[in-house]
Structure 1
Amino acid sequence: MKVVVLGAGESGVGTALLAKRKGFKVFVSDFGEIKEKYKNVLRDYKIDWEEKQHTEAKILAGDLVVKSPGIPDKVPIVKKIREKGIRMISEIEFAYSFNKELSVAITGSNGKTTTTMLVYHLLKQGGLNVGLAGNIGDSYAKQVAEDPEKCYVLELSSFQLDGIENYRPHIAIITNISPDHLDRYDYKYENYIEAKFRITKNQTEEDYLIYDDDDDEIRKWLSKNKIRAQKVPFSLTHKVEQGAYIEDQNIIVKMNNETTVLPINEIAIEGKHNVKNAMAATTVAQLKRIRKQTIRESLSGFQGAEHRLEKVLKIGNVQYINDSKATNVNATFFALESMKTPTVWIVGGVDKGNDYNELMPLVREKVKGIICLGIDNRKIIDAYANVVDVLVETQSMEEAVKIAQRLTESGDTVLLSPACASYDLFENYEERGKQFKRAVQNL
């Protein structure tokens, strides 16, 4: 069988390695330039590849196309593959058929990286043979090629879920749903919501769907659609019969006639959203029969994801926090909500159709100054010019951090939480976060 892989990033090259190892004929095609480290891998494994073009004859001669999640459906070569009726799937679907253990999968608009890392941490500390993959770390396909026996904890974006057919996680988590990536879904919110719920479409009565029962969109969808998986809600506002809730500053998790009680003040990561992430992860740990003592110790020792409310340094009694991973308004809402001192907020980048009014009450209450870091800051300026005393524009991270230092006094916080994508000034949100940390360390 001929397998064609579109896109030669982490996902595509991992897929190519797995396909090669399984004896398929493999061709990798990338319309952009392939990074040198990936070219070296393709050469080492003697995999046929091309860059800066898509050779139609070679691609359309494939029996199966595995498309990288970053490639939209409207790309001409993708349309031609569909017209020809060639089966096209995602890396997740391809690797799933070779993975002997059912995975734990996490999706959501926000919180999925932290929850994924937390689930992995709890299961690993509990002694299980687990791997970490999906939207995080090494590709799922590459890891399955090396160890098909592991139970993988997968962070899955809506793009990765779009390309599944039979993929079935034993435990699925939906952390929350808020508008994001609507440009990929014909600007229809309902299409994006449907994509998220694909995570449960192949689950059976033996499987579990863990979800935020405080989230209106999730509740609405579940009230109108039947699923086969066992529903396991978590909530900050009300008790649930099976799942997780709050009582007397404790997280209570009830599953299969077992109850776990965890004091909120023992969780290392702060903020209401992280209490929810801990609820979801603890529920998985309980389903996987991890000891209660291990769960407690693991939650108190977990440091969280890089670029997600990451405490960088305290300088002159001012705390600098890197939340570069906050690429939408909803994520920044959680960040601002968790601020306990007057805050200088660094915001901006590539706007995804943001409604900044959602943040207005928090900005009024917590923010003393705003630094707009982006090429086009008009929407942010229009939203907040009359709300804060100081609003400054810059296109340099180094300058943004220096301005922030001048605006703060002892006891304040400087928060990088952009609410936007990073592509106007940076390669990605990681690069943006690293530049922030470097600039803070150079103060």
Structure 2
Amino acid sequence: MPEVTKTLELRLVNPNAHKERKLCETREAYQQALQAAFDADCTSQSATNDVVVEYDLSGYAKNALKQYVPQLCSGSYDADELHDDHPVKFTNEGVQLDHKPQNALEWYVKIPHHDDYHLWIPAHVNPDQRDWVEAVYAGDAVMGESRLFERDGTWYLHVTATRDVEEQPVASANERTPIGVDIGEASLVTVCHRDESGSPVRPKLWADNGKAVRRLRKTYFTATRRLQKRGSERIAESYGDALWDQIDDVFHCVTREVVEYAESVDNPVLVLEDLTYIRENMDYSVYMNRRLHGWGFAKLYAQIRYKAAEKGIPVETVNPQNTSKACHACGEHGYRPRQATFRCSNDDCWVTEYQADVNGAINIADRYRSGESHRQNDRAPRQKAGDDDSATDGASLTGSQDSHADAEPQQVTHGTNAS
């Protein structure tokens, strides 16, 4: 099974003055240690260690220098002098990721400052690499060396990651079997595809899992609100983390089964709705917005993408406009008398009532079959400039934070920025 390695980019949310100072101190100490070891012409790790051991750096940064400096002096690079500012490098165990999907800013990264001190800082993930970051966090991809640097006043962390990908025979778009994937409120995920004669076959719904997640989220919001009113912030935080871990377990179970479903189909391609359009089209009551925007669309999408990639199954996206309103048989618009029921308005159509989520999944697959699809890096032109992604761009922090616990925004998500 071949390995694929990619560099992942995380943009650190503007650190407060304290953390900014610590990041600058780390960078300055690293560059001083690098220059000193280079000037001493350290051609071995032991010689480099004798120099860098005196600097106020974490062991992860010192170990990275012990690998890098000998390459500069007489190894791969054989440099005559150092040019420009070098990013701070950390070995593979130095940086850690944490995920808080209940927060407006859901990703956090731990950056070593020195052996006895590290910084937890919220970060924006490159939306085109979210599936890889999910894989690293889930332990399905191996984190390698990371590099910390500042560019135009913004701090970035680049992390290398490696994972196995199965080789699959390459099939043309016409040869593939599109599997529509509908993610919703009632059924957590619904998949369906058509057979060679065009008839919908083997629909699969994860409705019970949807009920389980709704129950857990309701418990989360109710319990944490009560605990916060009592002033038990730490208990509320710990309790909320435990519930979200349970939701995450459900997500992993369902997305694994979605990919297994795809593996059972000849030349599959999983077809998802473009998150950009989904988020823009959500405009319900305040209560429903909180539920739907916090439903975890982006997390489910990312897990499906990276697990499909591990099996060599392609994933495409389509504009979801009207996929829930159109009849998959005749194309006429219909309506939902109930959440799980679609009713066609065309009296001449053989479809009278149909399972609504299955109808939507078939329409999603058909949209790919009609020739309309675009990969995740094909962003919609009307997306706001500077946004990471409509599903992952976080809200600004409410104030300064100095620790991992304090760095988390309010527990309840707000607006379209929560996922």
- TM-score class, shorter-chain normalisation, is under 0.3
**TM-score in terms of structure 1 length:** 0.25
Of structures 1 and 2, the larger Rg is shown by 2
Greater relative contact order, per chain length (Cα 8 Å cut-off, separation 6+): 2
**TM-score in terms of structure 2 length:** 0.25
